[in-house]
Chains A and B, each alone.
Chain A
């Protein structure tokens, strides 16, 4: 073990984390604001029971939401119980964890604006495609 290299590695990591500190703190503050101000019942009011529109709505709502995926499973389970389509619910929970509109400023800053935009747009579309593929596969095997 090279002590100088260890020190240098620690210094480099500390510098990188210090640079991202305002973004991490800002993102946590923004996520807290959304979690505290948007009630869970809000999500139940926005679906239309349209098979084409609902997955889009699901993916959109999942994209602008943030927080523990656990919350998305709870809301998704409730939505299913309310009669919302499986396509919409899967789009919603997948977009919740794969698209990060709230984290976009942090992602753009750290990984580049173009990368962040392409990644989030493709994740939005993929959330719908993943839902369609999952429902189709489940339909074939059931």
Chain B
């Protein structure tokens, strides 16, 4: 188990090294594009640091309050719709790049959150309330309202589908192991 974890960590560092290798190649081939890319990287990074801090704080809060016992209690007692509403609203309200949320979601899944709810949360991150005024400028407000509604519906459909797929998979794995 520990060996597997270390292997995964190494893979993540390999991924970073491969991307860095791409940057070295770009530097050798085209210095102008390299510096343009570095500028973009720095501007994204400076925007992301506050979100990174927010994610860290949220993770610490969830780690403190949301224990596996708490989740399993709510999973057993909460009505289905409540959980989906939580995933939809949480996804819409969350900010920052999608990949910043992976560690928190992975952590919550370990505490019992279903794959469907995670997918629903991730899909709803596409609904950006602060960007709605800008969207209305580019498209008509009718389109924005309809699109937002349809996207929330699509997030639920995706959540149900992923739950179904992963549940069937788990069942197959269980029956194979028996």
Query: Which residues in A have some Cβ–Cβ distance to B below 8 Å?
Result: 5-6, 8-10, 12-14, 16-17, 19-20, 22-33, 35-37, 69-70, 73-74, 76-77, 80, 86, 90, 94, 97-98, 100, 103, 105-107, 109-111, 114-115, 118-119, 122-123, 126, 129-130, 133-134, 137-138, 141-142
Contact = CB atoms under 8 A, between A and B. Distances in A.
Q: Which of B12, B99, B166 has the most CB of A within 10 A?
A: B99
Given A26-B19, A119-B119, A126-B154, A111 B105 contact: yes
A2 to B, nearest CB: 8
Given A106-B99, A107-B99, A126-B157, A115 B19 contact: no
A123 B12 contact: no
A13 B56 contact: yes
Given A74-B138, A106-B102, A130 B64 contact: no
B69 to A, nearest CB: 13
12 contacts: A13-B60, A27-B99, A76-B138, A103-B99, A109-B8, A109-B102, A114-B166, A115-B118, A118-B161, A119-B162, A141-B142, A142-B142
Interface string B79-111: 000000000000000000111101111110100
Chain A residues touching B, majority SS: helix
B156 to A, nearest CB: 11
Contacts of B11: 109
A131 B18 CA distance: 36
Contact of A28 (B26, B48, B106): B48
A120 to B, nearest CB: 10
Contacts of B115: 115
Contacts of A105: 15
Contacts, number: 186
A28 B45 contact: yes
Given A19-B12, A73-B131, A122-B161, A36 B99 contact: no
A100 B36 CA distance: 23
Contact of A22 (B16, B142, B143, B153): B16
B71 interface: no
A20 B19 contact: no
Given A16-B107, A111-B105, A115-B162, 15 more contacts: A10-B63, A16-B103, A19-B12, A23-B102, A25-B16, A26-B18, A28-B48, A29-B23, A36-B36, A36-B37, A76-B138, A111-B102, A118-B161, A130-B151, A134-B143
A118 B126 contact: no
Given A23-B16, A30-B19, A110 B106 contact: yes
A109 B12 CA distance: 8
Contacts of B118: 111, 115
